[in-house]
Amino acid sequence: MAMRAVVIESYGGPEVLQVAEVPLPEPAPDEVLVRVHATAVNRADLLQRRGRYPAPGPRPAFEIPGLEFAGVVERVGARVADVRPGERVMGILPGGGYAEYVATPAGMLLPVPEALSLEEAAAVPEVFLTAYDALFRQAGLRIGEAVLVHAGGSGVGTAATQLARAAGADVFTTVGSPEKALRSQALGAQLALVRERDDWVAAVREATGGRGADVVLELVGGAHLARDLEALAVGGRVVVIGTMGGAEATLPLSALMARRARVVGTVLRARSREEKVALTQEFRRTALALLARGVLRPVVDRTFPLAQAGEAHRYMEANRNFGKVVLTVRP
């Protein structure tokens, strides 16, 4: 059996993303075969397309990008008891999402709340799990704390803003333009600062009565780290989850000591299957109900058909999106 998928045959610009016929994946006994309705683009896909972010493990015969999906269960492996064909599901993947079918462990599935379409659901898994993990498991965010989210208009930034607000935190964001600042505030940021225009360290300190942010989600990386420490409260935590603005940084040790601060790095994709199942299940227990009630909602900026994956990459590469760029596999 064959399916259509976007395959990276050689690394390069958006034009290398071409639809091809590839074999249908075969689910293992603890896996589920899902008919994909939509997937979404992540920053990492742009690097992978250029050959700079290989999927974990040996290179597959067909390199299909795509870190998430939403769809309908087609059939289940022999050892899967709690998932049935016909159920609407979503989840993260180590790759392979730009395709008509994916095979994935049953433990990495999340049920899609009724309130969400499958296109909206495709915008949930990667950024909400990343932001959830960073805020609550890595930074140990507590009620009433102040959070600074860099790249507040990114997929991860829009998820983190909402999750932190839902947890009772004050949220500050940095973004690239006044237009994105307005949208970030509409999403729940108390203050959205324009990166190149505003003195965001001073603004965050002032807004917190001189205390600083308890948690910083660092998606920009290198260029920011020294200023993150200046913006940080005593006992603060910086979680580094992206390096869009550079992978090298200077760390002012006296500020680190004076604030008794912690700087933590994290990635999702390289983690073991067991760790991903554990994160997925924790999110299911704690945050899924908030998606069902509309307290959290995926921000879908634009939708492209799968065959226009290259266009979708161009759009994201130009930093035009606020929130997620979705690829429709089955309209």
Ligand X SMILES: NC(=O)c1ccc[n+]([C@@H]2O[C@H](COP(=O)([O-])OP(=O)(O)OC[C@H]3O[C@@H](n4cnc5c(N)ncnc54)[C@H](OP(=O)(O)O)[C@@H]3O)[C@@H](O)[C@H]2O)c1
**Residues of this chain that bind ligand X (CB under 6 A):** 42-44, 126-127, 130, 151, 153-156, 175-177, 180, 219-220, 241-242, 244-245, 266-268, 316, 319, 321
In the bound complex, what is the minimum distance in angstroms from residue 48's beta carbon to ligand X? 11
Comparison of 259 and 313: residue with beta carbon closer to ligand X: 313
Question: Minimum Å distance from CB 176 to ligand X?
Answer: 2
Q: Tokens at residue 163, please?
A: 């999750």
Please give the Cα distance from 323 to 160 (Å, whole number).
Answer: 11
Q: How far is the CB of 153 from ligand X (least distance, A)?
A: 4
The most distant pair of C-alpha atoms in the chain lies apart, rounded to whole Å, by 62
CB of 139 to ligand X, least distance (A): 13
Residue appearing with tokens 């001073």:
202
Query: Quick one: CA dihedral 280, 285, 290, 291, positive or negative?
Result: positive
Residue closer to ligand X, measured from CB, 22 or 279: 279
Q: What's the rounded Cα separation, in Å, for the pair 175 and 156?
A: 12
Nearer to ligand X (CB atom), residue 80 or residue 217: 217
Bridge partner list, 305 = 328
* Other beta carbons within 10 Å of 331: 9
Nearest of 14, 110, 16, 27 to residue 69 by alpha carbon = 110
Nearest to 222 by CA among 239, 200, 243, 203: 243
Min dist CB 165 to ligand X, Å, is 17
Task: Closer to ligand X by CB, 87 or 311: give it.
Answer: 311
Between 180 and 205, whose beta carbon lies closer to ligand X? 180
